Structure 1
């Protein structure tokens, strides 16, 4: 059911074309050092002025082990608000994954959180910033929670260029070149066109 059947059909055709094109694609995992869990988050404006979309990737030793792409529950007024919400969701997912990995491996792994929005990162790291300066109570609580949890979990928060952020490919439609870069950052490859071993 849809309010706009033509648009729903157009999007569905696009999805099926993508599925058909990528049916043989996989994710490459190689032997290497796995001493850090890295979580990346991104948020992008949704067409039509609706809620933004959050993209999250969790890497262990540079290998993608978890990801999520979902519509945000709050309507953001600015990119900083949308990115703040995404960083909060990413922190939760990353810390849970870190805990599972540590339980299995029996050792501690550092956790690093990355985002590409300078304003949201400053809100979470600048001691002079007050959470009550947020536009709504919901974002003030979110900001306070993330700041406290970053400190409690000893997670490092760093800025990363959007072009180098794996989660960027989970939030928006990308042009062909950018889509290829996003696949590379996610560790995806097509066995039929690659000589590399998975």
Structure 2
């Protein structure tokens, strides 16, 4: 907004074309028999070609319904894909904790550990390793934050295969088929679609 260019205008036009072509799309909230809180988190590594900063993204669900999502460039350059994913996990965990606190205040907090799905085994291993190594000093604060919530049994980090990772569409370019498959999994429906 401070320094618009033709590239920015092209991106805006592309977004407007997408919105015009799908006027009936929206989130469909379903009644489910649970109030589980879970999220999907992902990050690209050095995805920005100008400054090599990574982009993190997450989706969060309450009772199987999509309630929040975010995609944002990380503030520092990650030295590895595991570091980029780990920083993304910390942001996703913050969002899940906020949702948990909100739900507890209104009397319907989750009764079990929350799942934060990640497709990077190295990042999951770092979060569950009780020994602090020199290799992880640069993410030490995030690591202690995540470790505390793991030990208190508030969160779990189950591994999800890359093809089942919903947050991919927030951090990298995906095929049209993967994009539309992800929209279905996120609960986005077209009210004008024939039944």
Partner of 1:113: 116
Match among 96, 115, 124 for residue 127 of structure 2:
124
Render the CA deviation track for 1:73-122: whole Å, top value 9, x for unaligned.
Answer: 12112111110000000111101101211222345432111111011000
User: How far has the Cα of 1:14 moved from its partner?
Assistant: 1.6
User: How far has the Cα of 1:140 moved from its partner?
Assistant: 2.0
| SS in structure 2 at match of 1:105 | coil
Partner of 1:169: 169
- For these two proteins, the number of residue pairs brought into alignment is 191
Maintained 8 Å contact 2:35/2:108: no
Task: Structure 2: give runs of 5+ residues left out of the alignment.
Answer: none
Render the CA deviation track for 1:23-82: whole Å, top value 9, x for unaligned.
Answer: 320111112112311121111242415321111111112111111111111211211111
Equivalent runs, 1:118-197 vs 2, <5 Å: 118-127=121-130, 129-134=131-136, 136=138, 139-195=139-195
List, as ranges, runs of 4+ consecutive aligned residues in structure 1 with deviation greater than 3 Å: 105-108
Distance in 2, matches of 1:72 and 1:107, equals 30
Q: Which deviates the most, 64-73 or 148-157?
A: 148-157
Aligned-pair RMSD on alpha carbons?
Answer: 2.0
What TM-score comes out, normalization by structure 1 length? 0.86
Partner of 1:102: 104
- Whether 1:30 aligns to 2:30 is yes
**CA shift in 2, pair 1:101/1:11, >3 Å:** same
**CA shift in 2, pair 1:47/1:133, >3 Å:** closer
| SS in structure 2 at match of 1:54 | strand
Maintained 8 Å contact 2:37/2:62: yes
Partner of 2:80: 78
Task: Structure 1: give runs of 5+ residues left out of the alignment.
Answer: none
